[in-house]
A and B are shown apart, each in its own frame.
Chain A
Amino acid sequence: MSTAAQKRPAGPARLDRRTRLRRDKSLLLMTIPAVVLLLVFNYAPLFGIVTAFQEYDPLVGVWHSEWVGFDQFRQLFGDPAFWASMKNTLYLSFVQLILFFPIPIALALLLNSVISERIRNFFQSVVYLPHFFSWVLAVTIFQQMLGGAGVLNQFLRQHDIGTWDIMTNPHTFALLVTSQAIWKEAGWGIIVFLAALSAINSELYEAAAADGAGRFRRMWHITLPGLRGVIVLMLVLRLGNALSVGFEQFLIQRDAVGHEAADVLDTFSFYYGIATGGYSYGAAAGLFKSVVSLLLIWGANKLAHAFGEDGLYRT
């Protein structure tokens, strides 16, 4: 790296700042629209975090609202509804991790063993499709299939077996939303694993087969180690996002199953912050979530490094 830089005769890096600025001014000009949008809609809200330490009043704005320090947080940590939503968040995240995570890997392995390219392509184009559906659409489809007036209950009623409304039952809500997530996103999730599979050197398989390793031993000793890096990366991302389980998905179904089952940190923040006007309270809940999420990403990444993988980033 350094030798290459030294060898470069009169490279652009040697030019002084002003020359480089003049040379690259059209490049900089091109980045301005995106940077402005990010500053307004991503960075300005970062400063809006101060509302979490205020009693925000929309009539007087951020500059003149009363400063209350950590009062919002004190109230938040004493609020059973907040802890209930925290518990739901972790529980739903955990159920999704256990039930969802292995499925794309299994599907990718299965698909990879299919030899006909036609079948593989067709399968992929079908299973990627629900990823592009909105949550409103996905939930509506579930409702039409499994809901009170859906296909399942239509069938049960016609055969006098009684009815079974899955969509409004708070006790099975975790399973319901996990199956929705699997239905919508598991197919899309196979892309990265398929790519990792196709990157495995086929000579390894050939050599192992020549040594008498059967199908399952080859999978254990070649395929799975080949997928390790991607699996760890996906786990890091999943853990880092543990507090952001399906916001829109739950928002849509919250009324049907009740907030006891469906409130997670994001919906809590929305309902207390915007729907009922307690902006500062909602902002405090949101800030709490952001800070914990950041710690989770950092921790998960450290964990990946401990396993000898690159994880999300290296510093």
Chain B
Amino acid sequence: MTNALTIGSRGGKHRTAATAARRRTHSARPSWDEPPTPVGQAAKGLTLGGTLAVILVPLWIIVLTSFSTPGAINRAGGLVIWPDGLSTETYRQMLGDPTIVTALGVSLGITVVGTALSMVVSILCAYGLSRPRSFGHRFLLMLLIVTMFVSGGLIPGFLVVTGLGGYGQWWALILPSAVSVFNILVLRAFYQETSSELIDAARMDGAGEWRILWSVVLPTSRAVTAVTALFYAVGYWNSFFNVMLYMPTDSQKWPLQYVLLTYVNRANGLPGSVNSGFGETHAQTAPLSLQMAVVVLTLVPLVIVYPFVQKHLRTGVLTGAIKG
């Protein structure tokens, strides 16, 4: 350490940086590992870079097109690859469009309400099954796990929901998928690892199970709570098949994904024009920039939440894979 400092002070900044870099690579690469060949290094770089490009370039093109002027889109002959005239006009237009704004509200509503409900139900169930040797926990656990392997299939599920009057109802988009046994098992695995001394101490102080869950277990398992919430939220945000099943005709209740499907993927006119018939311009396919803006809109919440949860993903997934 002193050595590096002396060299640095004598030889100027360049030398310090170079030495530090060499030291870092030297210490990071285990001594027994041979240094990579230039060809191998290049092949590796190309593969990794190519993989990133395959994911990022399409996203770049879509975002760029959504921010491009009609002129830029004309000049490009469609999607825009290089920036050539940017504007936020499309977004202003989009946020003035009742169909899209309604769909955004529906999507956000389903996601928020659904995730909250799923989390409460799952956390309670996971904690209820996490205490060793509690009454009936084996039987209940079995009851949960069986559903991961055996299912009645699509039609019986549909008949149950419609039989309960779920056709066209909001709850049909939330309740049938509110419980994910996988997520409960992930939470449970974490709760089992909560230090039992801590829990016993709380119990000594006269705390009941609800109190323990709320003030001991939950605060020590924030990471897994965040990951589970993300999984649920993504599930609700992305779902479109249940809309197809339970409210295929009522475009006022369509979430964003269903609008994306009809309006961008199938290039139909705006769904609003089907029912209400207002606005002649809406009957034709929307301009490309607007279509791409809808795509971007479905991405925005994910991009906002993802960075906060991303570093915990590994923990959540592995617990589920190994213990579940």
Answer whether A and B are interacting partners. Answer: yes
Q: A: which residues have CB within 8 A of B?
A: 11-13, 17, 20-21, 23-24, 26-31, 33-35, 37-38, 40-49, 51, 56, 58, 61-62, 107, 110-111, 113-116, 119, 123, 125-130, 132-137, 139-141, 143-145, 149-151, 154, 157-158, 183, 187, 191-192, 194-195, 202, 205-206, 209-210, 214-215, 233, 247-248, 251-252, 255, 266, 269-270, 273-274, 279, 282-283, 286-287, 289-290, 294, 297
Cβ–Cβ contact A270 & B154, under 8 A = yes
Could you jot down 25 A-B contacts, CB within 8 Å?
Answer: A21-B135, A27-B127, A34-B179, A34-B184, A35-B140, A41-B160, A51-B155, A126-B56, A127-B51, A127-B55, A128-B310, A130-B55, A132-B238, A137-B238, A151-B61, A151-B79, A154-B77, A154-B78, A154-B79, A157-B77, A192-B318, A194-B314, A273-B155, A286-B156, A297-B149
Which of B128, B176, B239, B302 has the most chain A CB atoms closer than 10 A to its own CB? B128
Q: What chain A residues lie within 8 Å of B93 (beta carbons)?
A: none
Q: What chain A residues lie within 8 Å of B160 (beta carbons)?
A: 40-41, 44-45, 48
In the docked arrangement, what's the CA distance between A283 and B136, Å? 33
Cβ–Cβ contact A137 & B44, under 8 A = no
Cβ–Cβ contact A290 & B124, under 8 A = no
Q: What chain A residues lie within 8 Å of B133 (beta carbons)?
A: 11-13
In the docked arrangement, what's the CA distance between A44 and B122, Å? 20
Q: What chain A residues lie within 8 Å of B313 (beta carbons)?
A: 128, 191
Contact of B314 among A21, A191, A283 (CB under 8 A): A191
CB of A222, distance to nearest CB on chain B (Å): 12
The segment from B8-16, B28-36, B95-103, B274-282 that touches chain A is B28-36
In the docked arrangement, what's the CA distance between A205 and B30, Å? 10
Residue of B nearest to A56 (CB): B159
Q: What chain A residues lie within 8 Å of B307 (beta carbons)?
A: 125
Q: What chain A residues lie within 8 Å of B47 (beta carbons)?
A: 110
Q: What chain B residues lie within 8 Å of A248 (beta carbons)?
A: 240-241
Q: What chain A residues lie within 8 Å of B244 (beta carbons)?
A: 251
Instruction: Decide if B189 is an interface residue (CB 8 Å cutoff).
Output: no
Q: What chain B residues lie within 8 Å of A42 (beta carbons)?
A: 147, 151-152
In the docked arrangement, what's the CA distance between A255 and B265, Å? 11
Instruction: Decide if B283 is an interface residue (CB 8 Å cutoff).
Output: no
Cβ–Cβ contact B156 & A31, under 8 A = no
Cβ–Cβ contact B209 & A26, under 8 A = yes
Q: What chain A residues lie within 8 Å of B25 (beta carbons)?
A: 115
Q: What chain A residues lie within 8 Å of B82 (beta carbons)?
A: none
Cβ–Cβ contact A191 & B317, under 8 A = yes
Q: What chain A residues lie within 8 Å of B56 (beta carbons)?
A: 126
CB of A258, distance to nearest CB on chain B (Å): 15
Question: Contacts A38-B143, A49-B156 hold; do A26 and B210 have CB atoms under 8 A apart?
Answer: yes
Q: What chain A residues lie within 8 Å of B127 (beta carbons)?
A: 27, 30
Given contacts A41-B160, A107-B51, 13 further A-B contacts (CB under 8 A): A31-B125, A31-B128, A35-B143, A45-B159, A49-B152, A132-B234, A134-B237, A143-B265, A183-B54, A187-B55, A192-B317, A215-B33, A247-B241
In the docked arrangement, what's the CA distance between A111 and B208, Å? 47
Cβ–Cβ contact A27 & B51, under 8 A = no
In the docked arrangement, what's the CA distance between A153 and B137, Å? 58
Cβ–Cβ contact A151 & B81, under 8 A = yes
Cβ–Cβ contact A191 & B318, under 8 A = yes
Question: Contacts A110-B48, A154-B79 hold; do A215 and B150 have CB atoms under 8 A apart?
Answer: no
